């Protein structure tokens, strides 16, 4: 079967997988794992964050981690999450970082709970962060959390989402990733939102940062891909994500399953199979097995 070479971007998110863990992962182990991921062939590695250590204690060593990464011998780019201008000011000093990721919620309730700021204030902060990002030759990635709906009865429809995207477009944001913060996405609304946005804003790169249980991964990837999305976030073994009812975990999209989907559909990814398998084994030493 002939392989179809497309510009699919897989974004591996160890930062997202690590940040909620109670036990601190030693810095040396983080660096070892990230260096292995850099050999796989992912487009981007979400490797750390510059946020308050009181809020995310697991990421308090991100500066040391970025300094320890073997970033000069890889084709993968590095991304760091920032929550405000202070974090952005710190992150832009690292020449190894290409992308700054900024979470912005479509839900006012979640924005207040998550950052204790309003959406309006967060958008004002974003203007300053974008200026800083551009001045330092970085690229801003805005993660629109609650991107596929919310449980708070806050506004959510096509017009509402497009309003946010239009504001981001006016700020010259080039990459917007729709994030399913609590696992509410399904193939129907995934297709719907990407079909609304991608044709209207062909100059913006739209991504999917989805959460899923293992049974629905392929159908969610297929829905986003069929609607034109070509940027996908995931985490090896599906680590991270949101705890749900009883013993079920809706985690990050399992990277191995996404790779299997694209391989099954003869869509080339440029993944180094041996390095990928080694990263999967190493992940078992980094994360608690669930």
- pLDDT of res. 113: 87
Distance of alpha carbon 141 from alpha carbon 133, whole angstroms:
10
Can you give the pLDDT at residue 1?
44
How distant, in Å, are the alpha carbons of 59, 126, 133, 161, 228 from that of 85? 17, 8, 10, 24, 32
Q: Which residues in the chain show pLDDT less than 50?
A: 1-2, 242-248
For position 27, what pLDDT does the model report?
97
Question: pLDDT at position 114, please?
Answer: 82
Instruction: Indicate the domain borders of the chain.
Output: 11-286
Looking at residue 3, its pLDDT comes to: 52
The pLDDT score that the predictor gives to residue 123 is 95
Class of domain 11-286: alpha beta
| DSSP structure class, residue 147 | B
Token reading at 183: 């696992």
Position 115 scores a pLDDT of 83
**From CA 105, how far away is CA 7, in angstroms rounded?**
28
Tokens of 120: 């309006």
Contact between 182 and 151 (Cβ < 8 Å): yes
Query: How many Å apart are CA 138 and CA 116, to the nearest integer?
Result: 27
The position carrying tokens 């800083």 is: 132
Q: Please classify residue 21 by burial: count the beta carbons closer than 10 Å to its beta carbon, then call 0-12 exposed, 13-18 middle and 19+ buried.
A: middle
Q: What is the DSSP letter of 73?
A: G
């Amino acid at each position: 079967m002939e392989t179809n070479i497309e510009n699919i971007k897989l974004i591996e998110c160890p930062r997202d997988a690590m940040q909620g863990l109670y036990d601190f992962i030693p810095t040396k182990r983080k660096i070892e794992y990230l260096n292995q991921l850099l050999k796989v062939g992912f487009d981007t590695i979400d490797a750390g964050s510059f946020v308050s250590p009181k809020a995310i204690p697991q990421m308090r060593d991100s500066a040391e981690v970025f300094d320890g990464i073997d970033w000069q011998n890889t084709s993968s780019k590095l991304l760091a999450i920032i929550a405000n201008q202070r974090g952005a000011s710190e992150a832009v000093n690292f020449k190894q970082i290409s992308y700054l990721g900024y979470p912005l919620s479509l839900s006012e309730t979640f924005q207040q709970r998550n950052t204790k700021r309003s959406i309006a204030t967060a958008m004002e902060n974003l203007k300053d962060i974008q200026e800083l990002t551009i001045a330092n030759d970085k690229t801003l990635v805005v993660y629109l959390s609650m991107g596929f709906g919310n449980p708070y009865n806050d506004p959510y429809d096509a017009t509402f989402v497009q309003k946010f995207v239009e504001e981001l477009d006016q700020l010259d944001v080039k990459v917007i990733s729709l994030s399913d913060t609590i696992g509410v996405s399904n193939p129907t609304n995934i297709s719907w939102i990407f079909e609304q946005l991608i044709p209207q804003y062909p100059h913006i790169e739209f991504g999917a940062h989805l959460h899923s249980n293992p049974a629905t991964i392929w159908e969610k990837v297929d829905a986003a891909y069929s609607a034109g999305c070509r940027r996908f976030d995931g985490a090896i073994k599906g680590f991270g994500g949101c705890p749900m009812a009883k013993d079920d975990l809706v985690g990050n999209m399992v990277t191995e399953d996404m790779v299997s989907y694209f391989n099954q559909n003869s869509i080339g990814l440029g993944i180094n199979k041996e390095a990928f398998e080694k990263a999967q084994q190493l992940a078992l030493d980094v994360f608690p097995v669930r």
